[in-house]
Amino acid sequence: MCSSVQKALFEEEDHVKKLQQKVATLEKRNRQLRDRVKKVKRSLRQARKNGRHLELVNQKLSEKLAAAAGAIPHINALGREPARSSYLRG
């Protein structure tokens, strides 16, 4: 073969090799990003699940507190007489 053709062929093969390496690198990075997205989605689902659970626990505690508050008179209402205004007496 002619040397210029061989040179062109070699350059083309080199270019193809570089492109294949680039594709491999991009595919690897794409897999890494997909894995990261999966982890973030999993974490988000878990956080939402925990949030719903905490909301339910909070609601139950609020109901218990309200029930307990209704059964026990408030400390300020115990043993107090109505306030008398001495300044209104004549």
Q: What is the pLDDT of residue 23?
A: 98
Which of the residues in the chain have pLDDT under 70?
A: 1, 73-90
Q: What does residue 51 show for φ and ψ, rounded to 5 degrees?
A: -65, -45
- Length of the chain (residues): 90
Q: What is the pLDDT of residue 44?
A: 98
The span from the CA of 83 to the CA of 76, in Å, is 13
Q: What is the CA radius of gyration of the chain?
A: 38
